[in-house]
Amino acid sequence: MSPKAKRVFYCTECGNETPKWQGQCSACGAWNTIVEQPAELTAKGSASPRRTSPGRGLNRPKAIRDVETTDELRFNTGMAELDRVLGGGAVKGSLVLVGGAPGIGKSTLMLQICDSLCRFANVLYVSGEESQRQIKLRAERLKVRGEGLYLLSETNLDDVIESVNQLKPDVLIVDSIQTMYSGDGAASPGSVGQVKECAMALMQLAKGQGITVFVIGHINKEGSLAGPKVLEHMVDCVLYFEGEEHMSHRILRAAKNRFGATNEIGVFEMGDEGLTEVPNPSEALLSGRPQDTPGTCVTCVMEGARPVLAEIQALVVPSSYGNARRTSNGFDYNRAVLLLAVLEKRGGLMVNGCDAYLNVIGGLWVGEPAADLAAIIALASSFRDKNVPGDLAAVGEVGLTGELRSVNSLSQRLAEIQRLGFTKCLVPARSHGKVVAPAGLQLIRVHNIREALAAVL
């Protein structure tokens, strides 16, 4: 009589196992994330097989004085924007997870870098979603030559690892982790158990053989990577590919990076022949900016070491209902509500009974407080129906009392503002350190939002 298969329950958020179903995960507190998966059957009384990394023997402890601390070996991917987000290039033996919405361009990005990587390395592109013919057609459209590029259409990770051991590539691309399965296939691909098992095998492959592995992952309806949260913990880098469906620009940002900073972004533009790098994102994000129109103001935000100019648009109209509506896109909603309250209490504008809409152009997400002053100016401009001068930008953090606080890297922001042709900039009266205004840029120093509104509107 065959043994009865055990059933275990996993949390899709954190991967916690529980013997029975429950509405809330006891580990992470998430609701309705417990799913049922079959447990791996082991023979009674037999020990579980010992896991070993592919291509490596027994790993023994080593004294800290004997551990080498040489710099990690990096290589360029052929796209400067991707190298910037990775911290200066891809690291040999690293595991990189690239996530994004369907159709955003993840597979296109990975296939395009193959054209540059194949000049000095062998690349194995594994797809569980497309056939080899489909990949070849897309490569021809993207003008990928393919010298040193090998294609494999497979969903069984054991066969993929066998192909890696035979071919011994320098770079492995897996598209996608949700289509792969390992073992006897009792659990369906994309399940919590399979994602964990496949991610662990790929990590051992990268560390054991020194292969740089790029893994593509899908996101769920909440916008986070599908699968257990432990997937993000295991990899070295987590990159998110973002963008609006109706916009041609795509933004690549790092949510985790063991080899570099996590606040860098890369900007691309999607065209008929694939993704094109945008080395000057400020100019691209400001293209088509309306002139002599109320409700718009330009600010400068720091994305890592790069200053980026962003246009903030606002629309304030009388509310037709009892409760005023607030909507924000590309700007933190709670921060927008806070600024509206400060604008009414400290600025003297009665916006409480008005619907307010805030939008950042170009699909850029503005998360730092340095954009507060520009948002205040845009809201007040729309409320008063008065134009903001087209050659003026605003940088500064707004406090609850209406005061303006200084921001970091102000000199670098001002240099970028002046380079894009602006002649005036609204800044806090007090700033950290010495701030030198570039030639041709007039600084308007104000202490609070009342002074700012009086100087501009």
For residues 9 and 20, give the distance between their C-alpha atoms in angstroms, rounded to a whole number.
6
Rg (CA), the chain: 26
- What 217-223 contacts at long range (C-beta under 8 Å, 24+ apart), as own/partner pairs, is 217/97, 217/98, 217/99, 217/176, 217/177, 217/178, 218/99, 218/102, 218/176, 218/178, 219/99, 219/100, 219/101
β pairing state of 306-318 and 296-303? antiparallel
Q: Please tell me the predicted confidence (pLDDT) of residue 49.
A: 42
Q: Which residues pair with 366 in a beta bridge?
A: 331
How many CA atoms within 13 Å lie on the side-chain side of 128?
Answer: 21
Would you state the CATH architecture of domain 73-279? 3-Layer(aba) Sandwich (3.40)
Residue-wise pLDDT tens digits, 1-56: 445 556 778 777 676 788 888 888 887 787 887 877 665 543 333 334 444 444 44
Judge contact between 259 and 91, C-beta under 8 A.
yes
Q: Please tell me the predicted confidence (pLDDT) of residue 50.
A: 45
Confidence of residue 311 (pLDDT cuts 50, 70, 90): very high
| Domain range list for the chain | 7-38, 73-279, 284-456
Q: Please tell me the predicted confidence (pLDDT) of residue 219.
A: 81
For residues 116 and 403, give the distance between their C-alpha atoms in angstroms, rounded to a whole number.
51
Residue-wise pLDDT tens digits, 218-234: 887 666 676 667 788 89
Within 8 A by CB and 6+ apart from 155, the residues are: 128, 179, 180, 181, 189
Within 8 A by CB and 6+ apart from 425, the residues are: 392, 393, 394, 395, 414, 417, 437, 441, 442, 443, 444
pTM as predicted = 0.75
**Which CATH number applies to 284-456: 3.40.50.1110, 3.40.50.150, 3.30.230.10, 1.20.1540.10?**
3.30.230.10
Judge contact between 244 and 236, C-beta under 8 A.
no
pLDDT over 90 for what percent of the chain? 54
Q: What is the mean pLDDT of the chain?
A: 86
β pairing state of 74-75 and 90-91? antiparallel
Residue-wise pLDDT tens digits, 367-426: 899 999 999 999 999 999 999 999 999 999 999 999 999 999 899 999 999 999 999 999
In the chain, the amino acid numbered 51 is R
Residue-wise pLDDT tens digits, 238-277: 999 887 666 778 889 898 999 988 878 898 988 888 899 9
73-279 matches 284-456 in fold: no
Q: Please tell me the predicted confidence (pLDDT) of residue 284.
A: 82
Which of 113-122, 125-134, 258-267 has the lowest average pLDDT?
A: 258-267
Three-state helix/strand/coil letters over the chain: CCCCCCEEEEECCCCCEECCCCCECCCCCCECCEEEEECCCCCCCCCCCCCCCCCCCCCCCCCHHHCCCCCCCEECCCCHHHHHHHCCCEECCCEEEEEECCCCCHHHHHHHHHHHHCCCCCEEEEECCCCHHHHHHHHHHCCCCCCCEEEEECCEHHHHHHHHHHHCCCEEEEECHHHCECCCCCCCCCCHHHHHHHHHHHHHHHHHHCCEEEEEEEECCCCCECCCCHHHHHCCEEEEEECCCCCCEEEEEEEEECCCCCCCEEEEEEECCEEEECCCHHHHHHCCCCCCCCCEEEEEEEECCEEEEEEEEEEEEECCCCCCCEEEECECHHHHHHHHHHHHHCCCCCCCCEEEEEEEHHHCCECCHHHHHHHHHHHHHHHHCCCCCCCEEECCEECCCCEEECCCCHHHHHHHHHHCCCCEEEEECCCCCCCCCCCCCEEEEECEHHHHHHHHC
CA 309 to chain centre: 19
For 442, the token pair is 């007039």
Within 8 A by CB and 6+ apart from 43, the residues are: none
